[in-house]
């Protein structure tokens, strides 16, 4: 069978992204179609259907799935931190810092699945055949790729634990905990979605996003792994320019739903805002009033692209600790803290209106000042809740002294990062002086933008980088090149969505029209 391709060259056949119209694909949306249709075996309505051929006419084995990449952006909460945990709205936006996941399929004889995250010195493999498939595949536990999982199953969580015991045994406590969380989240999602016939493969991740800084780094991993697994299972189609709106929306929902499962394993009861904006991109007004129901998500498709100075204080913070702190304060002073959270909510709603006005001008200081003033108010309310930090206040002091923008904390606070909306036409000398002061005081700075694309795919892992190889169809991104890329700049130059310029040829994104609601 000849593999068909869409108009942008993305495969539709059995060795790549499937077409939703492909009748023999195991990735049908039928409610009784489980995701274990690998190597020609599909469980339909409780019975096995095996694709058989006579020995004389047996088709030769298909080649392994080519290496491909998935990328997802980090995020900042622009408005509404902490209030979002208490049922209020938040505005979150994608930033241009991203994670990149390279997926390589191994030979049929190699029955291992490997996670390799060199940026955090994590590398671990499991034998696929030794994993607890019988527990996850039990009729009372089995779920499907199109299922919506809103809580973890304690028995399935327990079944994963023995396979975390030998993860990073020589690492120190906090580092080992990070590794075990990543491993446990992956295994839980892998076992729910996959089957024992899943091919051996390796997932190698590089990221340009600071870890533990409130920028949604774990959510980008969740989104990348979700999209990668669903791609391997042929449960996604596209993305392609003429993809129907409803189909594109369904793909985004599916990726986001499984990324949330990954996040639940790590965080217990996450708001869901990180994985939502990382999957979708641009910006959203996000609200979750009932954790037993899907969140309300209003996309801000007209959200302007805004240049930011993102500053990492390099002070480790704990989201759980800061959230618990506000919870205790609310329990002691319910009316007072409740009114503060209500005020945060009003600021959030006002910001969404301002940022999506038809006459909003990113080059106008008057337009930007309206947003900046709301940022200042939001930060002050968060300070009153006790979630700022002296290092965050120092960044605000330095920026205010130069008079070049408006600064607030982003995320849980207690350390982590700040964001500064810069005034238009800021003198280079002032920016240089500010950045020099930040360097001298041990801050890490990033120039980034808000409102970019969400999850994207590079199928196969071939890019055109303006090199000689482009004449032969582009440069293949193999594992060695990916691992040897040095630092954030090296990763971006090699595989980055923008790579130092405009959107790079090869990367494709699920883009949903302005009137889409999901």
- Would you please indicate which residues are annotated as catalytic (active-site) residues? 274
From CA 283, how far away is CA 264, in angstroms rounded?
22
Task: Please report the sign of the dihedral spanned by the C-alpha atoms of residue 492, residue 493, residue 497, residue 501.
Answer: positive
Find the helix packing angle between 245-267 and 173-193, rounded to 10°: 140
Q: Name residue, tokens 């500064």.
A: 420
C-alpha closest to that of 34 among 262, 154, 153, 193: 193
3-state secondary structure of 103: strand
**Cis preceding linkage at 184, omega within 30:** no
Sign of CA dihedral 237, 239, 245, 248: positive
Residue 180 to residue 164: CA distance in whole angstroms? 6
Q: Could you give the angle at which helices 217-232 and 173-193 cross, rounded to 10 degrees?
A: 30
Q: Are 365 and 424 in contact (CB under 8 A)?
A: yes
Run of H or E including 458: strand 456-458
**Long-range contacts of 143-146, Cβ-Cβ distance < 8 Å, separation of 24 or more:** 143/192, 144/31, 144/33, 144/34, 144/35, 145/27, 145/35, 145/193, 145/230, 145/233, 145/235, 145/254, 145/258, 146/29, 146/31, 146/235, 146/254
Report the Cα 498 to chain-centroid distance in Å.
17
């Amino acid at each position: 069978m000849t593999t068909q391709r869409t108009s942008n060259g993305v495969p539709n056949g059995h060795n790549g992204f499937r077409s939703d119209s492909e009748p023999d694909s195991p990735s049908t949306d039928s409610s009784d179609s489980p995701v274990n249709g690998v190597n020609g075996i599909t469980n339909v309505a409780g019975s096995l259907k095996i694709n058989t051929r006579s020995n004389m006419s047996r088709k030769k084995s298909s080649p392994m799935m080519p290496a491909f990449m998935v990328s997802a952006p980090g995020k900042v909460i622009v408005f509404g931190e902490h209030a979002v945990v208490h049922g209020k709205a938040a505005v979150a936006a994608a930033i241009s810092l991203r994670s990149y996941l390279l997926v390589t399929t191994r030979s049929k004889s190699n029955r291992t699945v490997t996670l390799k995250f060199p940026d955090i010195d994590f590398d671990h493999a499991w034998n696929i055949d030794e994993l607890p498939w019988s527990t996850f595949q039990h009729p009372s536990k089995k779920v499907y790729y199109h299922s919506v999982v809103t809580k973890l199953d304690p028995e399935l969580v327990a079944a994963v634990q023995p396979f975390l015991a030998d993860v990073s045994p020589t690492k120190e406590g906090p580092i080992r905990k990070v590794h075990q969380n990543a491993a446990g989240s992956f295994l839980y999602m892998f076992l729910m979605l996959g089957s024992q016939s899943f091919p051996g493969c390796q997932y190698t991740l590089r990221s340009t996003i600071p870890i533990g800084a409130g920028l949604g780094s774990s959510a980008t991993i969740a989104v990348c792994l979700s999209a990668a697994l669903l791609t391997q299972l042929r449960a996604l189609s596209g993305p392609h320019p003429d993809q129907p709106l409803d189909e594109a929306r369904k793909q985004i929902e599916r990726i986001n739903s499984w990324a949330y499962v990954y996040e639940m394993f790590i965080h217990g009861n996450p708001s869901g805002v990180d994985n939502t904006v990382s999957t979708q991109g641009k910006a959203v007004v996000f609200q979750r009033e009932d954790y037993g129901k899907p969140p309300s998500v209003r996309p801000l498709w007209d959200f302007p692209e805004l240049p930011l100075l993102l500053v990492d204080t390099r002070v480790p913070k704990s989201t759980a600790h800061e959230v618990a702190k506000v919870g205790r304060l609310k329990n002691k002073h319910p009316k007072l803290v409740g009114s503060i959270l209500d005020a945060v909510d009003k600021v959030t709603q006002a910001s969404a209106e301002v940022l999506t006005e038809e006459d909003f001008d990113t080059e106008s200081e008057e337009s930007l000042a309206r947003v900046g003033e709301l940022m200042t108010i939001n930060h002050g309310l968060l300070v009153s809740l006790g979630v700022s930090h002296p290092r965050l206040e120092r960044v605000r002091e330095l920026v205010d002294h130069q008079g070049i923008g408006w600064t607030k904390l982003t995320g849980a606070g207690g350390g982590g990062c700040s964001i500064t909306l810069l005034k238009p036409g800021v003198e280079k000398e002032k920016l240089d002086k500010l950045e020099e002061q930040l360097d001298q005081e041990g801050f890490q700075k990033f120039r980034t933008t808000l409102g970019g694309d969400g999850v994207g795919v590079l199928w196969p892992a071939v890019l055109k980088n303006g090199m000689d190889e482009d004449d032969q169809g582009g440069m293949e991104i193999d594992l060695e090149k990916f691992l040897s890329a040095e630092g954030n700049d090296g990763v971006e130059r090699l595989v980055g969505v923008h790579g130092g310029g405009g959107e790079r040829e090869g990367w494709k994104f699920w883009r949903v029209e302005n009137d889409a609601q999901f």
